[in-house]
Amino acid sequence: MAALNSLIRAGMLAAAACVLAAAGLPSTPVSAGLQKLTDHYHYMPPAAGLPAMGAVVTREGALFIDPPPDADHSWLPGDAGRSGGGTVRWVVATGPSAVRAGAGQSLLKSGAALILSEAMESMLYPVKREELFGPPEANERVVEARIRPAGPSPRFAFERQMRLFPAGVEVRIVALRHRARTAADVVVFLPADKVLHAGELFTPRAFPEIDVAQGGSAAGWVDGLRQAVDLVPILKSAMPQPKPDPSKPSPEEKTLEELVLVVPGRGPLSNLQEMKDTLEAALRMRTEAFRAAAAGRSLRSYLAQGNLSEYRQWENFEAFATLLYESASIR
């Protein structure tokens, strides 16, 4: 199994190098299975059932995204993050499954802070109903214990968005407003590095596996993906561009969307353009699902529509389309 995981990681890293080269981004190996993709963002491909891990590394500390339970910081370059008594200062979970799988347990035991959305905290650490009765001061103690549990690891919950600025590097941690793959999905965006860590919200050329047991919604996922796409500002240059020299072969031009690196929880590295293409496909499928349901057509008829044929080869097409149709039928 270890040998297989090594081969999988090697293949993922080779694919990552191709994506980064196409986008004009550097690609520097850090150690086995890890790669520095931008000035501050490091990446470890998914393997052995675990999602891809991201790490934002600065001289004032490192932030790990969906790290495995046994993650360490031995690969960090130089003196990154030596301040504050530890190398890794924050662990971010992009979904409740990552926390349940023990994301970063070794780091949390060393004192790193767990950052998660309030929706995720409510799902993972619910306060028992009977504990909410009694004198007001007792309720305050319960709430305080929930926000700051006993142990070496603090926990910080945010409602919509949290911003960190280690060494001046902006890190936006955003909770999706919609029920998407789950009812508590989170994405992380680094504006200066042009990196969006999407976690299991997005997989290139695939439709998501909606976790209904954790409050997920196929119809809501479309709106959640749109929110993630809209996080990334695409600014068109107002300066006139030089005309190409007709005597020279024109280099392959990349759109601004293709220059934004998107890191999925599963599958190869991607970019914002592929994410937008997936959003367009999902919007079309949702529209057609509501039309089919309103017209009283069957699920089989909806799945067989000719204008959806280009998406049938995408992973998880039928399961996702079925959930869309079912959500449209009960409205």
Report how far apart, in Å, the C-alpha atoms of 41 and of each of 35, 107, 171, 267 are. Answer: 9, 18, 11, 18
The whole-angstrom separation of Cα 223 and Cα 225 is 5
Greater pLDDT, 113 or 24: 113
What is the dihedral angle through the alpha carbons of 209, 213, 219, 225, rounded to the nearest 10 degrees? -60
The per-residue pLDDT for range 130-145, each reduced to its tens digit, is 454 455 555 554 444 4
Greater pLDDT, 169 or 20: 169
Note the pLDDT of residue 258. 86
Residue 24's pLDDT band (boundaries 50, 70, 90)? very low
Main-chain phi, psi angles of 251, to 5 degrees:
-70, 155
DSSP secondary structure code for residue 212 in this structure: G
Burial class (CB in 10 A: 0-12, 13-18, 19+), 102: middle
The whole-angstrom separation of Cα 128 and Cα 123 is 12
The per-residue pLDDT for range 76-99, each reduced to its tens digit, is 655 454 443 348 899 999 998 888
The whole-angstrom separation of Cα 52 and Cα 262 is 12
Task: Give the least confident one: 30-39, 214-223, 280-289.
Answer: 30-39
Tokens coding 181: 């793959």
Q: Which one, of 60, 24, 22, 28, lies nearest residue 41 by Cα?
A: 28
The proportion of the chain whose per-residue pLDDT surpasses 90, expressed as a percent, equals 49
pTM (global) more than 0.85: no
